[in-house]
């Protein structure tokens, strides 16, 4: 049954050119969500979904030059057209760079094997790139991996050990251990990584699309085993938490 028709990126761009950068981005996200809901079980193809203004984005290939001098760089907003794609093997380097030294701190682990799992699952997952970017860089990746399906893979075993070691709350520890052991077949690992200054307006359609794909996978995957692996009851998300250090000052009496 057909699932997702190709989205017409140029249509969105022409409809939004009269808006301010913020208004254009907001309208783009709204239109994408509306289009996703209105199309019933469309055909999965290339995810040409998004056009947005990227504020303060620094890219040597995308930097505008000043009219007064070719050596002077324009400081301001840079227009960037983002496109959503199914993950593919050629995205290996870009996805690995996004996850390197950030996903599990500085742990030396089987990151390459983990990236292979993401790229080997094109039916559920999305990478975001800039349209016609010669470097073919990846600016965001989202996916949902079945921990039960991959529970014996080296990268998943190392990830589980890492989580159990860094968890310091004993109440949380019990729940976490239950999820990655007794209930591992019901757990989807939600992988979400992006460059810091990716426009936040792109995130809602990314997540909406991911959950649609998980639902479709429970019906469309070629084997019963694969379909069952996407019947998630829980989602596990690994994310960093940043805290301000409290500055204390001791005064002499």
User: Domain range spanning residue 142?
Assistant: 9-63+71-237
- Asked if residue 43 belongs to a domain, the reply is yes
pLDDT band at 80 (very low <50, low <70, confident <90, very high): confident
pLDDT at 5 over 50: no
Kindly compute the dihedral angle of the four CA atoms of residues 125, 128, 133, 134, in this order, to the nearest 10 degrees. Answer: -40
**Which alpha helices (DSSP H) does 100-241 contain, by range?**
111-119, 154-166, 170-180, 203-220, 224-229
pLDDT for 170 equals 87
User: pLDDT digits over 183-210, tens only?
Assistant: 999 999 999 999 988 888 999 999 999 9
pLDDT tier, 235 (very low <50, low <70, confident <90, very high otherwise): very high
Is residue 115 within 8 A of residue 99, CB to CB? The reply is yes
Q: Which residue has the tokens 């250090």?
A: 245
> What digits encode the pLDDT tens for the residues 85-130?
999 999 999 999 999 978 998 889 999 999 999 999 999 999 999 9
Within a domain: 246: no
Cβ neighbours for 144, distance < 8 A, ≥ 6 positions apart: 124, 125, 188, 189, 190, 191, 210, 213, 214, 230, 232, 235
User: So what's the pLDDT on residue 77?
Assistant: 63
- Report if residue 247 sits inside a domain: no
Distance CA 77, CA 43 (A): 35
Residue 249 within any structural domain of the chain: no
Residue 15 lies in a domain: yes
Q: The domain that contains 24 carries what CATH number? A: 3.40.630
Classify residue 244: in a domain, yes or no.
no
Residue 242 in any domain: the answer is: no
| 5-9, 63-67, 161-165, 193-197, range with greatest mean pLDDT | 161-165
Give start and end residues of each alpha helix (H) in 19-153: 21-38, 92-99, 111-119
The predicted structure's pLDDT at residue 31: 37
Q: How many domains does the chain have?
A: 1
pLDDT in tens, 134-170: 777 899 999 999 999 999 999 999 999 999 999 988 8
pLDDT score of 35 more than 60: no
Whether residue 221 is contained in a domain is answered as yes
């Amino acid at each position: 049954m057909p699932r997702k028709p190709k989205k017409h990126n140029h249509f969105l761009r022409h409809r939004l050119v009269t808006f301010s950068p913020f208004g254009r981005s907001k309208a783009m996200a709204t239109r994408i969500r509306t289009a996703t809901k209105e199309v019933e079980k469309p055909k999965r193809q290339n995810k040409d979904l998004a056009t947005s203004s990227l504020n303060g984005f620094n890219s040597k290939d995308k930097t505008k030059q000043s009219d007064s001098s070719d050596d002077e760089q324009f400081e301001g907003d840079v227009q960037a057209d983002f496109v959503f794609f199914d993950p593919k093997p050629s995205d290996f380097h870009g996805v690995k760079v996004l996850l390197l030294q950030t996903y599990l701190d500085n742990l030396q682990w089987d990151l390459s094997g983990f990236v292979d799992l993401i790229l080997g699952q094109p039916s559920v997952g999305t990478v975001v790139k800039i349209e016609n970017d010669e470097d073919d860089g990846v600016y965001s990746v989202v996916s949902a991996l079945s921990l039960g399906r991959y529970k014996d893979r080296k990268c998943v075993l190392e990830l589980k050990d890492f989580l159990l070691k860094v968890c310091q709350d004993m109440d949380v520890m019990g729940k976490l251990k239950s999820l990655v052991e007794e209930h591992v077949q019901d757990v989807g690992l939600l992988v979400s990584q992006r460059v810091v200054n990716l426009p936040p307006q792109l995130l809602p359609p990314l997540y909406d699309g991911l959950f649609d794909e998980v639902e479709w996978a429970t019906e469309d995957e070629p084997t019963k085993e694969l379909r069952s692996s996407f019947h998630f009851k829980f989602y596990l998300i690994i994310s960093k938490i940043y805290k301000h250090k409290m500055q204390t000052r001791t005064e002499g009496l």
